[in-house]
Amino acid sequence: MADSKNIPISGVKEINNIDALREQVGLLQGRVLEREFENGNLKNEIRLLNIELDIYKEVGIITQDISNLDAILEKFIDTALKALDTDAGTLFLIDEISSELIFTVVRGGAQDRLKGKRMSVKEGIAGWVARTGLSYIASDVMNEPLWQKEFELMSQYATRDMMAVPLKAGEKIVGVVEVINKKRDMPYQKRDIDILTTLAGHASIILDKARLFLEIEKRVDEFRTLNEVGNLLISTLDQHVVRKRAMEAITKLMNAEVGSLLMVDEEKKELYFEVALGDKSDKVKEIRLKMGEGIAGWVAEHGEPLLIRDVANDPRFYKKADDKTKFVTRNMLCVPVKIRGNVIGVLQAINSKTDCFTDDDMSLFAMFSNQVAIALDNARLYEEIKETFIATAEALSEAIEKRDPYTGGHTKRVLCYSLAIAEYLNMSNEEKETLKFSAVLHDIGKIGVDDAILRKQAPLTKEEADVMKKHTLYGSEILGHVKQLKGLMPGMFAHHERPDGKGYPMGLKESDIPMTARIISVADTYDAMTTDRPYRKGLSPQTALDEIKKYSGTQFDRDVAEAFAKAFENGDIVNIMPPSGGDRI
């Protein structure tokens, strides 16, 4: 090789230029590699941002319909797994009453085995997240001291790594989201925890909105039911019907297994089961409680409602009731039924079909109790007014009968015969009620008949009989002045009409004669035939029955005559009046 000293100056410069070029090439190559690396990171960043953008779009779609919470949560987990490139995941919700985490949504190989299972918030990684409100990443789950191995055995699913974040509603932790096993054996990174935390925030908002929506929907349904029940309760003035409907409403309104109504016996200072629903209702009705005895007795004595979440451990619980009925009482709502500050009864809703009754349930039950109290009080007042009216009408009828000593007790007997007939004619309670009042007042018009005719101890002349026949018209005139009694006029006005048209006062035929009048006609005639008169002895009951059968279809309505015969054959008529005549009730 030639000595460098002998190299021309121009050659040295060329060598230096080559070295400089090589250095520049090296720098450029380094910059290219650096840019490629940056481009790679940038591309990855863009990819992740696109994924995150897609996630938010999915979340937006999810939140458009919050009426189905289960579907929302399932969609949320599916979106999270897709975004984080993960095999499996679980969304836990916290049961505040039991302090447990519920496997609400499970994805992966274990979903059929774990969905609906529960674990204490004191256990596992999810429990730690629920207690602390902090996120958790585990790259090697099997070596984590918090890992619950029994759930892995139960699920038969091998867990390598996992990530968990809390679900929060404001400052309150309502659940935990857990994702398991990153695909392609990639580890979870900070970027993943950020994405999951952001998603969990959206999920918390969704939960809050959905729960609020469902709560409002529940309250609307409850008040709708409460309104329906209230209308149902005030649609009748029959106390027994009110009480039965109240019990049927309890199970529907409170979503309870059974319900009961206990009434206060003021004389004995005891509670008795007026109405109870469920398989053991007959046995329940045999039970009586002293005031202060049992949960119901305590409520009746103190006039305060009670919500008992664990009945078996409450010292007030009357265990003999469960022993007698073989029923297991878990939880109970018990509220007083008050009228003008006085406790008249107690309502019970037993065993919520959900986890347990709540304070909101107790408030709703108290409102329901007020409706029951109003309905019962209205029914009671109606019964008192009705009884007062009947007593007044009977007193008036008896006063008229005093003018004719030979017809004593006639009104009462006609009333009893009429009601006995009604039992064989498939009449409604309302129709029987009208019949009852009509029978009591059927002869009220005799108040306008002269004593000389009414008290005559011999057969009436034609002229006298014509005057006597006017008592139906007189009665109609009297009742016509009382608006509330106009419904009784047909039975009183037409009870001397006949199917063949030969009756009075209008000569009505067949179906033109009101049913109440047809019934009173048979009852009135039977009593007249079997009652002694000064000028004749009363017929025997059997003979009177034969006469009614004989004139069935002409003087008497066929169906009514047949119903009377059935009542007679079953002893319902003879038991009212023995065959010897007179006032024997």
pLDDT in tens, 90-146: 999 988 878 899 998 998 877 777 888 888 889 889 999 999 999 998 888 888 888
Token duo for residue 83: 């975004």
CA nearest to 136, candidates 193, 88, 90? 193
Q: Where in the chain are the domains?
A: 4-62, 69-215, 234-381, 402-569
First vs last C-alpha separation in the chain: 155
Checking if the pLDDT of 85 tops 70, the result is yes
pLDDT at position 307 is 92
The more confidently predicted of residues 421 and 190 is 421
| pLDDT surpasses 90 at 202 | no
Query: What own/partner pairs with CB < 8 Å and gap ≥ 24 does 278-282 have?
Result: 278/327, 280/325, 280/326, 280/327
- Quote the strand ranges of 404-490, DSSP E: none
Answer yes or no: same fold for 69-215 and 234-381.
Answer: yes
* The amino acid at 492: M
**Phi and psi (nearest 5°) for 486?**
-65, -25
Model pLDDT, residue 548: 93
Computed on alpha carbons and rounded to an integer, the radius of gyration of the chain in Å comes to 44
- What is residue 336's predicted lDDT score, i.e. its pLDDT? 93
Strands 100-107 and 118-120: antiparallel
| Residues 67 and 213: beta-carbon distance below 8 Å | yes
Task: Please name the residue that has the structure tokens 């309870």.
Answer: 256
pLDDT at residue 194, rounded to an integer? 85
Look at residue 581 and tell me whether its pLDDT is greater than 50.
no
Angle at 240 between CA 483 and CA 302, to 5 degrees: 115
For residues 210-223, give the mean pLDDT. 69
Question: Do 356 and 333 form a contact (C-beta atoms < 8 A)?
Answer: no
- How far CA 31 is from CA of 34, 83, 544, in Å, comes to 5, 33, 128
Q: For residue 82, give the amino acid letter.
A: K
**Range in 73-87, 139-153, 457-471, 535-549 the model is least confident about:** 139-153
Tell me the pLDDT band of 154, cut-offs 50, 70 and 90.
low
Under a CB-based contact definition with an 8 Å cutoff, are residues 284 and 274 in contact?
A: no
Residues 6+ away with beta carbon under 8 Å from 361: 254, 307, 333, 349, 352
Give the closest residue to 518 by CA, choosing from 484, 550, 482, 548.
Answer: 548
Contact in structure between 104 and 122 (CB atoms under 8 Å): no
3-class DSSP state for residue 109?
coil
Contact between 280 and 260 under an 8 Å Cβ cutoff? The reply is no
pTM score of the predicted model = 0.53
47, containing H or E segment? helix 9-62
Cα–Cα nearest to 406, from 535, 578, 584, 534 = 534
Interval 255-274: pLDDT, tens: 888 888 888 888 888 888 77
Range 69-215 classified under CATH 3.30.450.40: yes
Contact 441/519 with Cβ under 8 angstroms? no
pLDDT tier for residue 2 given thresholds of 50, 70 and 90: very low
pLDDT of 434 higher than 90 = no
At residue 78, the pLDDT reads 86
Comparing 226-230, 327-331, 528-532, which segment has the lowest mean pLDDT?
226-230
At residue 496, the 3 state secondary structure works out as: coil
- Mean pLDDT on 4-32: 61
Identify the CA nearest to 101 among candidates 167, 169, 182. Answer: 167
Task: Over range 398-409, report the average pLDDT.
Answer: 68
Contacts of 70 by beta carbon, 8 Å cutoff, 6+ apart: 104, 105
User: Could you tell me the pLDDT band of residue 389, with boundaries at 50, 70 and 90?
Assistant: confident
d(CA 408, CA 390): 18
Give residue 126's identity as a one-letter amino acid code: A
Report the pLDDT value the prediction gives residue 582, as an integer from 0 to 100. Answer: 39
> Which CATH architecture does the domain made up of 234-381 adopt?
2-Layer Sandwich (3.30)
Q: What is the pLDDT of residue 578?
A: 43
Q: How far apart are the C-alpha atoms of 134 and 128, rounded to whole Å?
A: 8
Question: Band of the pLDDT at 246, cuts 50, 70, 90?
Answer: confident
3-state secondary structure of 204: helix
CA–CA distance from 128 to each of 124, 158, 178 (Å)? 6, 21, 12
Count Cβ atoms within 10 A of the Cβ of residue 143 and give its class: 0-12 exposed, 13-18 middle, 19 or more buried.
exposed
402-569 fold: Hypothetical protein af1432 (1.10.3210)
Burial class (CB in 10 A: 0-12, 13-18, 19+), 464: middle
